[in-house]
């Protein structure tokens, strides 16, 4: 089903058509393809598989916002719960002109499997608003956020659905969501979101968690493969929160960051990019473009850089049937969700490229979100060293859980991660039983 509301917040339930079985190279098509393969390996009951393949709840909202020039503009947003068998739903909210309902469906599905792979008690959710945050001032962003929060508040609660930042949103966005929800309740509810500022109950280490988790997993994979991690050449596509922290953490761990990119293009230096200088440049100019410590390259050229680790940390569908053949990395570590299509996967496999799949590799963010949620509920806060130690332990354990599944069933790492995560959700569903 879907729940639609009008501008006044009145809700009505509307039947949705059954999901299409194949939708090309879209994120949802990739998510369905991955699920179907894992479900077949698990020999899931057909009805159970159909249930796990679909979102549990889908909310679409349309709401007006007063703009800087005094005009009124309508925005469309979504909040989806994919599955709550293992606990409250968890997932980010993205602001982008490219947000679609199908994209949010795919992202919420991946969140379910991701939480199960790292074995934290959450189900998957996702949300988004169709807008371009770069074209909006802070007052317009606040207005959009507060009205969107009000519209989706029928689904939110600290023990039911807990949002977090995603592409185009940040800690300030989470602060507005927390405040709006708290005003409706009449008291502060810090556990309603994660990724919020530390001074209102956020967690130390949350901002860096996804990028750190990527590199914790890469380092463990190198150890398992018997490869030398010190001095490993790393290329990172994307220089937002995930990409920039991945690159910085790689540098701090003793790797050589040879290429990075953002939406305006990339940089390459075979001797290694000076990450402290680049970070300062990006902070001052809000772009890596123009940095004088590397040569300019395109995003597509970055994918073809000769390196030990390629970390796509930007958008979905970057390594495809058209681009996978040019990849010259020994390992692909997926910092983004769904960066590799099934066709791209097949090509990487034929080339012998090791892939650390997204639902394992970039799970550090939701792990520390879980830590933040627990701290907010208890009002008892941990030191950052403790956060990082707990994160590293979970990422290492989860890597070996997936690796063991891959070896026992003779699967690639992506399929093994899907089998592990989907299997845990299926087991929880059957243990709880079906209501009524």
Instruction: List, by residue number, the catalytic residues.
Output: 126
Non-local CB neighbours of 192 within 8 Å, separated by 6+ positions: 156, 157, 158, 162, 163, 177, 178, 181, 182
The sign of the CA dihedral 188, 192, 194, 196 is negative
Non-local CB neighbours of 132 within 8 Å, separated by 6+ positions: 95, 96, 97
DSSP assignment letter at 338:
S
Pull the structure tokens for residue 60: 């679409």
Rounded CA separation 304/319 (Å): 10
DSSP assignment letter at 390:
H
Alpha carbon 391 to its chain centroid, in Å, reads 16
The H helix count followed by the E strand count for the chain is: 14, 14
Rounded CA separation 170/173 (Å): 5
Cα–Cα distance list, 169 to 78, 195, 196, 335 (Å): 15, 10, 11, 17
Give the helix/strand (H/E) hosting 391.
Answer: helix 384-409
Rounded CA separation 41/411 (Å): 10
Alpha helices (H) in 79-170, listed in sequence order? 101-117, 138-152
């Amino acid at each position: 089903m879907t729940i639609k509301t009008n501008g006044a917040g009145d809700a009505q339930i509307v039947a949705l058509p059954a999901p299409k079985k194949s939708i090309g190279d879209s994120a949802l098509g990739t998510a369905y393809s991955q699920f179907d393969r894992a479900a077949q390996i698990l020999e899931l009951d057909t009805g159970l598989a159909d249930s796990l393949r679909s979102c549990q709840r889908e909310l679409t909202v349309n709401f007006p916002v007063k703009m800087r020039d005094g005009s009124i503009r309508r925005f469309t947003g979504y909040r989806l719960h994919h599955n709550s068998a293992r606990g409250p739903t968890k997932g980010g909210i993205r602001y982008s002109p490219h947000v679609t309902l199908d994209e949010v469906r795919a992202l919420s599905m991946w969140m379910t499997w991701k939480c199960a792979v790292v074995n934290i008690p959450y189900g998957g959710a996702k949300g988004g608003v169709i807008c371009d945050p770069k074209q909006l001032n802070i007052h317009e962003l606040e207005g959009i956020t507060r009205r969107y929060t009000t519209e989706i508040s029928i689904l939110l609660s600290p023990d039911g659905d807990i949002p977090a930042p995603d592409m185009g949103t940040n800690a300030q966005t989470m602060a507005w969501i927390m405040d709006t929800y708290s005003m409706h309740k009449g008291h502060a509810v810090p556990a309603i979101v994660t990724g919020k500022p530390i001074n209102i109950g956020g967690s130390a280490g949350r901002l860096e968690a996804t990028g750190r988790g990527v590199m914790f997993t890469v380092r463990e994979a190198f150890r398992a493969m018997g490869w030398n991690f010190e001095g490993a050449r790393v290329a990172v596509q994307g220089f937002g929160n995930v990409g920039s922290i991945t690159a910085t953490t790689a540098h701090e761990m003793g790797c050589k960051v040879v290429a990075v990119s953002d939406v305006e293009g990339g940089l390459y230096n075979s001797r290694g990019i000076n990450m402290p200088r680049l970070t300062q440049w990006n902070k001052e100019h809000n772009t890596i473009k123009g940095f004088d410590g590397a040569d300019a390259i395109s995003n597509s050229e970055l994918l073809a850089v000769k390196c030990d680790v390629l970390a796509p940390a930007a958008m979905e569908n970057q390594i495809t049937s058209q681009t996978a053949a040019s990849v010259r990395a020994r390992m692909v570590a997926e910092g983004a969700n769904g960066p590799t299509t099934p066709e791209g996967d097949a090509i990487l496999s034929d080339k012998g490229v090791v892939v650390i799949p997204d639902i394992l590799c970039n799970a550090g963010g939701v792990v520390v979100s879980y830590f933040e949620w627990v701290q907010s509920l208890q009002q008892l806060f941990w030191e950052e060293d403790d956060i990082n130690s707990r994160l590293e332990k979970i990422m290492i354990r989860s890597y070996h859980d997936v690796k063991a599944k891959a070896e026992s069933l003779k699967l690639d790492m992506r399929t093994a991660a899907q089998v592990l995560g989907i299997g845990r959700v299926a087991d929880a569903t059957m243990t709880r039983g079906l209501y009524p």
